[in-house]
Amino acid sequence: MSQRPIKFVHAADFHLEEPGEGSPDLPETLIDRLIDAPYRAAEQVFDTVLGEEADFLLLSGNLLDVELTGPRGMLFLIQQFERLRARRIQVYWAAGEVDAAERRGTSFRMPDNVKIFSSLRPEEVTIHRDGIKLAQLTGWSRPPGEVIRPGDFRPDAGGLFSIAVVSGDVPLDEPVGRGLHYWALGGRPNRQTIALFGATAHWPGSPQGRCFAEAGAHGCTVVQVDAMGAARDRFVPTDVVRWHGQSLPIDATVSLEQVRTMLDETIRTASVTNGGVEVLARWRVAAVGTIAPALRREGVIADLLRVCRHHYPTSAHVWTEQVTIDTDVTIDLPDPNRDSVLADFLRIADRYDAEPTGSEAEKLFEFSHAHALLGETRTWSDVLRVDDAGRRRRLLREAAVLAHDLLAEEAER
């Protein structure tokens, strides 16, 4: 059978009920954008269908949890379906766990251009255009807990381009399901493509990421099939907020001012490469060996964070959520004969690191006389005492690094 060229859009996992993750100090405008992001991204999926003049839209489940979205979620989808209906574009929806029939309810009536596949068994549908066959679909709204059996999805006997539509993972060790050309899958937040029984198995991911585990661009997939039956897919971004994490390598020669410059340039680059999409970023300044003492000073992280966030209200739509400086600093102990309070502290700290339960090391966290020094009647020993060994080790390590830097400054004077 000869194949007519076709074009379709594949999308899944709208999860309209799930806004993006944020932090307490986000700007109000960005909070509003995060809340509304799943809807705006889903709307851009339908914009893509119309803009591409696609023959049909495939939806591989988990579009919304009606109990969590309330009427807004389903009314939004119906409105989008009506937009496609006006252009005579069909929608084929294989529900997943979140949007299963029993959770979707019966209060909403779908437009007649929407086909929701049965949850009882895979259904076969032949798609026509002007009376000519374009493709064959086999779709299943997989109930929660049910396993996908590739053998239940059969290709067209005449060789027509054949598509399986289902939400979930297909067993890779079953030598069945051959003859299909495209598996339109769902159930994963991030985009992924694999070869499966000689066909393409594709998860388009959610149109909108929601956290740093879902970093990078998100969108839908446009698939074009030529007259020879060869399919080519193309990613179209639809997200309105994007998560981005990046490491910036440095060494001991890099100064604090140079780090500020690196962050400035990185933020500007992120703004350009993400095409104006709002970006939530985490920057990790990763050092190999020692770093400049100024980078370990108290308040440096807060200062860098302020520098990064200064860009956001301007033209760069990049909000920095976090800046970290990671280093595996090795501290060289001072000359044991050197007469210095700081040198004595480092030697004691080194002994504590080797034996955190030693009596001498315990004195480092003994504050029974602090109230006398501070001129207070309150028992400061109860307030300042650190009992957790892990926390003690971390605090002592930070103090040792600071002491090491101060010793280095002493040596320079």
DSSP 275-329: TT-EEEEEEEEEESS---GGGGSTTHHHHHHHHHHTTTTTT--EEEEEEEEE---
Q: What pLDDT, on the 0 to 100 scale, is given for residue 341?
A: 65
Helix-, strand-, coil-residue percentages of the chain, each rounded to 5? 35, 25, 45
Query: Are the beta carbons of 7 and 134 closer than 8 angstroms?
Result: no
> CA–CA distance from 346 to each of 7, 30, 335, 338 (Å)?
69, 46, 11, 12
pLDDT tens track for 24-80: 889 888 999 999 999 999 999 999 999 999 999 999 999 999 999 999 999 999 999
Over residues 232-241, mean pLDDT: 96
Q: Is the pLDDT of residue 82 over 70?
A: yes
pLDDT over 70, % of the chain: 76
The pLDDT of residue 120: 93
Q: What are the DSSP calls for 29-60, one per residue?
A: HHHHHHHHHHHHHHHHHHHHHHHTT-SEEEE-
What pLDDT score was predicted for residue 131?
Answer: 84
Sketch out the chain's domains with CATH numbers: 6-237 (3.60.21.10), 241-326 (no CATH), 341-412 (no CATH)
H or E segment and range at residue 371 = helix 370-374
* Higher-scoring residue by pLDDT: 398, 94: 94
Of residues 310 and 330, the one with the higher pLDDT is: 310
Question: In this predicted model, what pLDDT tens digit does every residue of 202-223 receive, in sequence order?
Answer: 999 999 999 999 999 999 999 9
Q: Is the dihedral of CA 6, 47, 68, 213 positive or negative?
A: positive
- Specify the pLDDT at position 40: 97
Confidence (pLDDT) at 412: 45
Give me the chain's average pLDDT, please: 84
pTM for this model (two decimals)? 0.79
Tell me the angle at which helices 341-354 and 389-412 cross, rounded to the nearest 10 degrees: 150
